Chain A
Amino acid sequence: MLDRIIEILPELNTAFFETLLMVGIGLLVALILGLPIGILLYVTDKGLFWESRVAKGIIGIIVNLVRSVPFIILLVFLFPVTDLIVGRITGPLAASVSLSVAAIPFYARIVESAAREIDKGVIEAAIAVGASPWLIIKDIILPETKPGLISGLTITAISLIGYSAMAGTIGGGGIGDLAIRYGYYRYDDTVMITTVIVLIVLVQLIQYLGDFIAKTVNKK
């Protein structure tokens, strides 16, 4: 069994980094696009400085729309877009496209609910002091939500690991791909169990790291 693991190690190694790459890109996009969308969802809410039922309604519908499509369907549905952006529909980069699309609304909702935890009074005190909306977002809302933003990234990362395994089933690469190819098609239990263990360790590690950072930045 050990022989088999050593034999598979190079491939496992590649798969591992492919997974990291996919999840990393997804997280990055979530941060770049999901974060502002989440903040926008929050500040257009009732009683806040950019209150707008129309804006909130439209963004909310789009976010819900994407979130309600099961990932595997989103993956297939996005093949044309993926092809356009990456030039192919298999491999980790291609999978990253749909992972990113899934990650954006997922993270946006987490950001929104994290921001809702801020006491409205803190924002009012900032308004009373004459601060502009931008300054309030940058200097109050973002720092106050930081622990929530970080634990939100942790949750997103773990979900993306799950999604990336699904992407693996249709040739997306990564650990999921490895598990399907050896474990499912060839009944190779050793590879199967190894990939499961690697995934468990990875998820634990991310969770631990996320919790640790969130706790360090929390000044409450």
Chain B
Amino acid sequence: MIKVEKVSKIYETKSGQVVGVDNVSLEVPKGEIYGIVGYSGAGKSSLIRCMNILERPTSGKVMVDGVNLLELSPKKLREARQSIGMIFQGFYLASAKTVFDNIAFALKAAGVAPSQRKKRVEELLELVGLTDKINHYPAQLSGGQKQRVSIARALANNPKVLLCDEATSALDPSTTKSILQLLKKINQELGITIVLITHEMEVVKEICDTCAVMQDGRIIEQGPSYNIFANPQEKLTKQFIDTILNFDLPAKLLEACKGTILQLQFRGNLASDAVVSDMLQKFQVSGNILHGKVEYIKETPLGIFIMELLGETEEVAAAKQYLEERLKQVEVIQHAR
């Protein structure tokens, strides 16, 4: 659905050239939710803004739904943009317009006849759950409500793609959740392909099928979100994952432990307790769970347990090997003493 080929964006500023995006290529299949994470200044906004030519790439190619956006005349580009919705961290609703007029504006831009606008706006408000606010002004709405209006505006002309630039970054955690649920619903029910950028791994965990990590204008790692969480390669990716799967055991606890401390990772539907109890039966060791957590990466569980194994050195080694065979992800945190 979206194909970005070798796109670079270089800004000319008074103090010289600033690289926003550095030779990025990526492909977003139809119907997918594609997340791009990175710290502030990584070039996420620059990249997503190249996808609807709000920012014209310095070089490269941007294809959306089979159309090369960079070759379009201004008029054709405007038409193409009608099928690429975009929402922003700052909502950017027109303050002098009511909710109705803000959404109707998008319809007007697409040349929808006035008589048909009302029905469509009502449909959209139904979808985002704001029917009772139709005549309110943005100043009378909460952040989450404003974002809902901007989603309705972005969806007004039945786009195939929705671009979200930090759409939840200005919202509190519970509002963030509800907006993410709305995006998920839009993706599933309307089949709209979503690209979203964020600096919160929580967002990726919640809804993204694929995740790309961006640093200094480049994509340094990408893959299915689950794999990124379960097996991050790059240091920065690990840092991001740590914000969610963080296991800092208290130093006192580690000191008190005499046995081997292992971190076990359970993927998918592998029943964690079964593996551990098999292991305890097979070998002459005793186990001691120190910490455990199951995170759901877009509904697929990813469990992480930290346990202490006590017993004869050989038995512990054999038990560890057994776990490694069954789980593939076993890490020694502290050796026995």
Contact = CB atoms under 8 A, between A and B. Distances in A.
B160 to A, nearest CB: 13
A139 B97 CA distance: 9
B109 A131 contact: yes
B93 A122 contact: yes
A132 B137 contact: no
B92 A122 contact: yes
A143 B92 contact: no
A129 B109 contact: yes
**What DSSP secondary structure best describes chain A's contact surface?**
helix
Nearest to B105: A139
Given A129-B105, A129-B154, A119 B92 contact: yes
Nearest to A124: B54
Contact of B82 (A130, A143, A146, A219): A130
A220 B94 CA distance: 10
Given A119-B92, A127-B81, A139 B108 contact: yes
Given A121-B88, A124-B92, A129-B85, 7 more contacts: A121-B92, A124-B88, A128-B81, A129-B82, A131-B106, A144-B96, A219-B97
B78 A121 contact: no
Nearest to B81: A130
B264 to A, nearest CB: 46
B52 interface: yes
**What DSSP secondary structure best describes chain B's contact surface?**
mixed
Contacts of A132: 78, 109
Contacts of A140: 94, 105
Contacts of B108: 131, 135, 139
Interface residues of A, number: 21
Interface string B80-117: 11101110101011111100000001101110000000
Contact of A146 (B85, B96, B105, B106): B96
The 5 closest A-B pairs by CB, nearest first: A131-B109, A125-B92, A130-B82, A130-B81, A121-B92
15 contacts: A122-B92, A125-B86, A125-B88, A125-B93, A125-B150, A126-B94, A128-B52, A128-B54, A129-B86, A130-B109, A131-B78, A131-B105, A143-B94, A219-B95, A220-B139
B92 A130 contact: no
Interface string A166-201: 000000000000000000000000000000000000
Interface in A133-180: 135, 139-140, 143-144, 146
A219 B163 CA distance: 28
Interface residues of B, number: 32
Contacts of B153: 125, 129
Contacts of B86: 125, 128-129
A139 to B, nearest CB: 6
Contacts of A135: 108-109
B79 interface: yes
Contacts of B150: 125
A62 B110 CA distance: 37
Nearest to A142: B96
A138 to B, nearest CB: 10
Interface centre among B54, B105, B156 (most CB of A within 10 A): B105
Contacts of B94: 122, 126, 139-140, 143-144
Interface in A14-30: none
B133 to A, nearest CB: 14
Contacts of B82: 129-130
A130 B95 CA distance: 19
B157 interface: yes
Interface centre among A124, A143, A144, A146 (most CB of B within 10 A): A124
B139 A130 contact: no
Interface in B24-80: 52, 54, 78-80
Interface centre among A124, A130, A131, A144 (most CB of B within 10 A): A130
A39 to B, nearest CB: 16
A185 B7 CA distance: 76
A11 B299 CA distance: 86
Contacts of B54: 124, 127-128
B156 A129 contact: yes
B137 A219 contact: yes
A206 B100 CA distance: 34
A132 B108 CA distance: 10
A220 B78 CA distance: 29
B300 to A, nearest CB: 33
